[in-house]
Amino acid sequence: MESQKTDSKPIDSISTQSNSTESKLANFPVALFASVMGTGSLSLVLKKMSIIVGSLPNANIIESTLESNTSWQSIIAPLLWWSAYGFAVLAVIVFTLLLVCYGAKIFFHFNSFKADLKHQVKINFLSSIPISMLIIAAFWGDVGVGSDVFWYGVLGLFYIASALQLVLSLYVMSFWFRESMKSTLLSPAWFIPIVGNLVVPLSGSLIFASKDLLLFFFSVGCFFWIILGAMIMQRLIFDQSLDSKFIPTLFIFIAPPSIFTIDLHCLFESHSTLSLISFNVALFFVLLLVSLGKIFTKLSFAPSWWAFTFPLCAFSLAGFVLYVDYGFKWFYGVLGILGFMMAFFAVTFTSYKTLKAILDGTIFRE
């Protein structure tokens, strides 16, 4: 009898471990795809910074002539350039791993995936998948433009991501119309499907996609950004406070005006008063959230922390775009650098907290 009891322990242990793995897969959070948005957008900022420094005029480290510039720029520019590629490669690796895991969730726990599709909060994070793809395409889009097989692969990735973004935008909007939505669940996370539409012009302009297509997504994104912005502001002011795990999503307010600024540059290749207006709106939200900094220091970690990263990267990138467009006006350059510093800290610290939560399993708990 004692022998049978002893033999049963390893079996029970294996069974428990198997159930634990199954539970983690079933509860795999789609919000983790926002990590790709954060790391990928940081690579875009670093790439822009390296070009601005001046040692890499054609965004090509191999063809750059560092001999003509032996100052600090010849050291900083390559460092920024290779750091950009490092984060870009990391974004691709993380996206691939997350896609495999979420694909396994769909295959082995289809009911859990269906629950995500019907969840009033999680449904908004589904668009982080095509947005991640668009950001990856934006970084790699200038590699072998028009001739290289790799470039056609990036072009294909862009069109697949754009199609998926459109499908998810239509699905999310129809879901909002069909279901009885709770106002208490309304948060800046609702911006995510709409922000995705604004990312399409940013990504597509770098690979010479159809301008009509880019204007379509730009128009949709602008229209619903304004409407949702008013709805969310009303909810935040007049209804109860956000649940603590959704407080980081307040940073998403920074993203739409920042990306709008970049889109104006990408679509029309010029700057205007409108781009300054939208950037100043983003700047106001940055200042507002910095003034509220105390509430963010008391938060327990959740996947929603990745909402800190992408908006700050978008703000930094918008600052650098205006810095170049307005003849290297130092004001926008300083804001771009400050935005980068905040974004870099947010990405690295949130990465650490995410890895820690994955190792101890807390990130897979409902």
Work out the pLDDT band at 10, boundaries 50, 70, 90.
low
Whether residue 4 has pLDDT greater than 60? no
* Domain assignment present for 314: yes
Whether residue 56 has pLDDT greater than 60? no
Report d(CA 40, CA 151) in Å as an integer: 18
Q: Which of 73-77, 278-282, 289-293 has the lowest mean pLDDT?
A: 73-77
* Domain assignment present for 8: no
> How does DSSP classify residue 179?
S
Coil/strand/helix, residue 145? coil
Query: Residues with Cβ < 8 Å from 80, sequence gap 6 or more?
Result: 46, 47, 49, 50, 53
Percentage of the chain beyond pLDDT 70 is: 86
CATH of the domain at 345: 1.50.10.150
DSSP string, 4-68: HHHHHHHHHHHHHHHHHHHHHHHT--GGGGHHHHHHHHHHHHHHHHHHHHSS-TTS-TTT--GGG
Predicted confidence at residue 39, as pLDDT, reads: 96
Predicted confidence at residue 252, as pLDDT, reads: 93
Compute CA 308 distance to the chain's CA centroid, rounded to the nearest angstrom.
9
* Domain assignment present for 7: no
pTM: 0.87
Whether residue 57 has pLDDT greater than 50? no
AA identity, residue 35: S
Mean of all residue pLDDT scores within the chain: 84
Work out the pLDDT band at 282, boundaries 50, 70, 90.
very high
Q: Which of 46-60, 140-154, 342-356 has the lowest mean pLDDT?
A: 46-60
Whether residue 85 has pLDDT greater than 70? yes
* Domain assignment present for 259: yes
Q: Quick one: average pLDDT of 259-277?
A: 87
Report d(CA 148, CA 145) in Å as an integer: 7
Neighbours of 324 (CB within 10 A): 17
* Domain assignment present for 282: yes
* Domain assignment present for 163: yes
Range of the domain at 61: 26-364
Domains: count for the chain: 1
Helices (H), 211-308: 211-238, 255-268, 273-291, 293-296
* Domain assignment present for 3: no
Q: Quick one: average pLDDT of 44-52?
A: 91
Whether residue 251 has pLDDT greater than 80? yes
* Domain assignment present for 1: no
Predicted confidence at residue 68, as pLDDT, reads: 45
Work out the pLDDT band at 65, boundaries 50, 70, 90.
very low
Percentage of the chain beyond pLDDT 90 is: 44
Q: Quick one: average pLDDT of 337-352?
A: 95
Whether residue 193 has pLDDT greater than 70? yes
